[in-house]
């Protein structure tokens, strides 16, 4: 079986957090012998659109991905914007995942503050980027076992 080809979509709004998530994810993918491509978007709300574009590229034959890893962070602020970004991005991603039966690992962090985000992003601590990459690889196996 060929090495899986993964698309990583990372939201750059909090660049240091995105970089830490990316480091954890790429370490896991490289350790598993997976190939990957990375595309960046401005923020978490743009992740579902980029995922939909990747699916469209797969449908028209210009791209071929076995799975996806989503990386980003939403930190609660003083307004309800946090709820909109967190909820709407999660809803849109889940719709795409279910509709297209996508092997996906999701490390879009939703946290109260930057300290919580860094603990979750740092590969020497909670390593949520690495966990998302492993989840994508695991879901590729599930898809293959089910013959989808």
Contacts 24+ apart (CB under 8 A), 38-43: 38/7, 38/8, 38/9, 38/10, 39/7, 39/8, 39/9, 39/10, 40/9, 40/10, 40/11, 40/12, 41/9, 41/10, 41/11, 41/12, 42/11, 42/12, 42/13, 43/11, 43/12, 43/13, 43/72, 43/85
Check whether 29 is labelled as a binding-site residue. Answer: no
Q: With both helix axes pointing from N to C terminus, report the angle between 15-31 and 128-146 in degrees, rounded to the nearest 10.
A: 50
Residue 56 is encoded by which pair of tokens? Answer: 């469209």
Check whether 26 is labelled as a binding-site residue. Answer: no
Residue 114 is encoded by which pair of tokens? Answer: 């930057």
Check whether 12 is labelled as a binding-site residue. Answer: no
Check whether 44 is labelled as a binding-site residue. Answer: yes
Check whether 74 is labelled as a binding-site residue. Answer: yes
Residue 147 is encoded by which pair of tokens? Answer: 């013959």
Check whether 119 is labelled as a binding-site residue. Answer: no
Check whether 142 is labelled as a binding-site residue. Answer: no
Catalytic positions: 81
Check whether 111 is labelled as a binding-site residue. Answer: no
Check whether 39 is labelled as a binding-site residue. Answer: no
* Binding site as annotated, residues for (2S)-2-hydroxy-3-oxobutyl phosphate: 78-79, 120
* Binding site as annotated, residues: 13, 44-46, 73-75, 78-79, 106, 120
* Binding site as annotated, residues for 5-amino-6-(D-ribitylamino)uracil: 13, 44-46, 73-75, 106
């Amino acid at each position: 079986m060929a090495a899986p080809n993964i698309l990583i979509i990372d939201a750059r709004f909090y660049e240091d957090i995105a970089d830490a998530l990316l480091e954890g994810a790429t370490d896991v993918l490289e350790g598993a012998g997976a190939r990957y491509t990375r595309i960046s978007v401005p923020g978490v709300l743009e992740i579902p659109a980029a995922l939909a574009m990747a699916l469209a590229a797969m449908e028209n034959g210009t791209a071929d991905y076995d799975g996806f890893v989503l990386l980003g962070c939403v930190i609660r602020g003083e307004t309800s914007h946090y709820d909109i970004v967190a909820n709407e991005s999660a809803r849109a991603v889940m719709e795409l995942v279910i509709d297209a039966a996508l092997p996906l690992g999701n490390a879009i962090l939703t946290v109260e503050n930057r300290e919580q985000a860094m603990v979750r992003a740092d590969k020497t601590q909670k390593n949520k980027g690495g966990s998302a990459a492993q989840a994508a690889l695991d879901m590729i196996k599930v898809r293959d076992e089910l013959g989808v």
